Amino acid sequence: MSQRVNYIQQSPELFKKFLDFSNHLNGCAIEEHIRDLVEIRASQMNGCGFCLDMHVKLAKIHGERELRLHHVAIWRESPLFEPRERAALAWTEVLTHLPEHGVPDDVYERVRGQLSEKEISDLSYVVMAINAWNRINVAFRTVPCSSDKAYGLDKAGLA
């Protein structure tokens, strides 16, 4: 597989603004390890190899346990996730694949039981951002591992 378009070179000003937005999420109310899980799960759902590769490596760099990384795809069945993490993953899934009639009340209430309104709002922006990154990287077939050195992902020791 080869990359179709280098969107960074073609639209550098838009890339920089979107990267700035994404980087700003690092200071939001959602903890880093939950952001990592959310970015992994959305990337799995969207079939984005580039983002999945990147966020698994970032999670490893951030100290995430390897078994939990393998269990993100089966988080409902896995005993390795806390209620707050489960709420974030449920919200990620419902916003990534929006149901025909919107977000069901039972899903919202379950999430609201674990997260504050501010946290739900911030989490929604995290989900929006990773879905946008997934879409551009899937569309242009960005090659997994192609930016490891540039983003310091080689430090994950997963090559």
Q: Which of 30, 90, 95, 40 is nearest to 65 (CA)?
A: 40
pLDDT-derived band at 159 (thresholds 50, 70, 90) equals low
Question: So where are the chain's domains?
Answer: 12-149
- Pairwise CA distance, residues 149 & 159, whole Å: 11
Percentage, residues of the chain above pLDDT 70: 99
The reported pLDDT for the residue numbered 118 is: 98
What tokens were used for 69? 């990384």
Q: What is the pLDDT of residues 114-158, one digit of tens each?
A: 999 999 999 999 999 999 999 999 999 999 988 888 888 989 988
Helical (H) or strand (E) element with 134: helix 117-139
Lowest-confidence range among 3-7, 16-20, 101-105, 106-110? 3-7
- The class level of CATH for 12-149 reads mainly alpha
Q: Which amino acid is at 88?
A: A
What tokens were used for 53? 């590769």
Average pLDDT over residues 55-79: 97
Q: What is the pLDDT of residues 74-100, one digit of tens each?
A: 999 999 999 999 999 999 999 999 999
Whole-number mean pLDDT of the chain? 96
Q: Is the pLDDT of residue 2 over 90?
A: no
This prediction's pTM: 0.95
Chain length of the chain: 159
